[in-house]
Amino acid sequence: MHTLTTALVVEAAEGELNPLVPHTAEIVLSLIVFGILFFAVRKFVVPAFEQAYAERTAAIEGGIAAAESKQAEADARLAELEAQLADARHEAARIREEAREQGAAIIAEMRDQAQTEATRIVENGKTQIEAERQQAVTALRAEVGAIATGLAGRIVGESLEDEARQSRVVERFLVDLEAGTSGVN
Amino acid sequence: MSSLIIKAEGFTPPGPADFELPAIAFGVTKPMLQLVLAAVIVFVFFYVAARHRQVVPGRLQFAGEQGYNFVRNSMSRDILGTHDFMKFTPYLFALFFFILVNNVFATIPFFQFPTFSRSGMVYGLAAMSWIIYNAVGIKKHGFLGYLKLQSVPSGVTGPILALLIPLEFLSNIIVRPVTLALRLFANMLAGHLLLILFALGGEYLLVELGGAYAAVGILSWVMFIAIAFLELLVQFLQAYVFVLLNAMYIQGALADEH
């Protein structure tokens, strides 16, 4: 080990192979090579990358702007449609209301008409019935008088053919009849 | 112990000589070729990645952008601020990937040599960094204004100030390029030296000594693999630190208040 250390020390002391001592050619070469690389990179590579970034930024910003305008357009369209929808709903409600009112009016009108018609028919019926009753009463009065006088004439044996008498008897009978039913039966 | 020393004498430890590679042709050495190749790789990769520059990036463009973003945002912009950073981003970007690829050459098969274990290569870059940050500061504050900015700490008066001025000058102007260079160079050199030592030492223990030493040789090779992975981290970290310090030096030179 001692020999080894000594050998290293001796070698370093000789200074022939000191790695710290540069070769001038290497200094110059490294400067030239790096210089060329630097200028080539500055001229061709960095601008290309920077341009790519700029284009990307522009594309992204453009995309965002386009999306924003699309969004705004869509929002406006949506608002418009919603307004239209609200209008339509309103309109429908109005029409429904109107129809209901109209329907109610029609029903009321029809009911009125029917009522009037019914009343008229009833009136008619009543009048007719009254007329027929009157007619019947008149007819009955004549017939009942004749039958009664005929019957009475037979029972009494007395001819009641005499006009005046007959009519007197009938009148009295009818008066009795109207006063109460006991006289006849 | 004494028998080990005797046996170990047959082993020549790796040393600075292992970093003095012979010229391949016309005085051009392997690290020189690697240096050029690294520059070509960095430029071609990012040029191809950035060439089509689509809004929605493909895989290659995405990878290139991630690399570029790493330097641009997390180093350049965060340190230099949004106002100045684009002026220095190309420099920091090229520097980071240039150093990174050169460092990674230490691990890639058939290269397996860290370019920046050659001190001259690093001195060049460190000198360039020194010139850049000082020039930027002098341009902004004027020569005397810049010297004052770097040497006179604010909020200090009296004898302490007299003591601090030479210290600040020394640390901000003189020492910085030296530490910048040595940090990168020494890390690369030491890491590679360590790998050679574990590889050759393991081989020596296994082949030349054998027997009980073989187990230690195996352990040595296991360590070689572990250190190789550690080196991957070091390679990245050293590139990162070199560029980060560059950015911080420039920021310090541009600052209005020290």
> Minimum mean pLDDT among A131-145, A150-164, B120-134, B156-170: which range?
A150-164
Q: Give how far Cα A12 sits from Cα of A48, B16, B124, B190, Å.
A: 50, 9, 24, 16
Sign of CA dihedral B234, B240, B242, B244: negative
Taking the C-alpha atoms of residue B254 and residue B258, their distance in angstroms, rounded to an integer, is 10
Three-state DSSP state, B25: strand
The answer to whether the CB of B9 falls within 8 A of the CB of B15 is no
| ipTM metric | 0.85
Confidence at residue B4, expressed as pLDDT on a 0 to 100 scale = 52
- Which chain B residues in 99-128 lie under 8 Å from chain A, judged by CB atoms? 117-125, 127-128
Confidence at residue B59, expressed as pLDDT on a 0 to 100 scale = 83
Q: Which two tokens stand for residue B230?
A: 């550690």
Taking the C-alpha atoms of residue B25 and residue B182, their distance in angstroms, rounded to an integer, is 29
In DSSP terms, B25 is beta-bridged to B28
SS3 breakdown of chain A: % helix, strand, coil, rounded to 5?
Answer: 90, 0, 10
Q: Look at residue B211 and tell me whether its pLDDT is greater than 80.
A: no
Confidence at residue A145, expressed as pLDDT on a 0 to 100 scale = 80
Q: Which two tokens stand for residue A183?
A: 């006289």
Instruction: Say whether A34 and B93 touch across the interface (CB within 8 A).
Output: no
- Rounded to whole angstroms, the maximal C-alpha distance in chain A is 200
Confidence at residue B130, expressed as pLDDT on a 0 to 100 scale = 93
CA distance A24 to chain B (A): 7
Of A1, A17, A56, the CB nearest to B16: A17
CA distance B182 to chain A (A): 9
CB-based contacts of B187, cutoff 8 Å, min separation 6: B234, B238
Tell me which chain A residue has its CA closest to the CA of residue B67: A49
Confidence at residue B85, expressed as pLDDT on a 0 to 100 scale = 84
Residue type, B181: A
> Minimum mean pLDDT among A60-69, A162-171, B75-84: which range?
A162-171
The answer to whether the CB of B150 falls within 8 A of the CB of B136 is no
Taking the C-alpha atoms of residue B191 and residue B226, their distance in angstroms, rounded to an integer, is 12
- Identify the band that residue A5 occupies on the pLDDT scale cut at 50, 70 and 90: very low
Contacts of B43 in chain A (CB under 8 A): 37, 40-41, 44-45
CA angle B43, B49, B55 (to 5 degrees): 145
CA distance A66 to chain B (A): 17
Nearest in space to B101 (alpha carbons), one of B189, B36, B178:
B36
Q: Look at residue A4 and tell me whether its pLDDT is greater than 50.
A: no
| A10 vs A146: which has the higher pLDDT | A146
| B16 vs B232: which has the higher pLDDT | B232
Residue type, B89: T
- Rounded to whole angstroms, the maximal C-alpha distance in chain B is 71
Place of tokens 């001592």: A21
Q: Look at residue B175 and tell me whether its pLDDT is greater than 80.
A: yes
Which secondary structure element, helix H or strand E, spans residue B230, and what is its range? helix B213-254
- Which chain B residues in 206-235 lie under 8 Å from chain A, judged by CB atoms? none
Nearest in space to B20 (alpha carbons), one of A88, A52, A22:
A22
Q: Flag whether the pTM goes above 0.80.
A: no
Q: Give how far Cα B226 sits from Cα of B190, B215, B223, Å.
A: 15, 17, 5
What's chain A's Rg over C-alpha atoms? Answer: 68
Q: Look at residue A52 and tell me whether its pLDDT is greater than 50.
A: yes
Taking the C-alpha atoms of residue B79 and residue B58, their distance in angstroms, rounded to an integer, is 30
Taking the C-alpha atoms of residue B150 and residue B139, their distance in angstroms, rounded to an integer, is 14
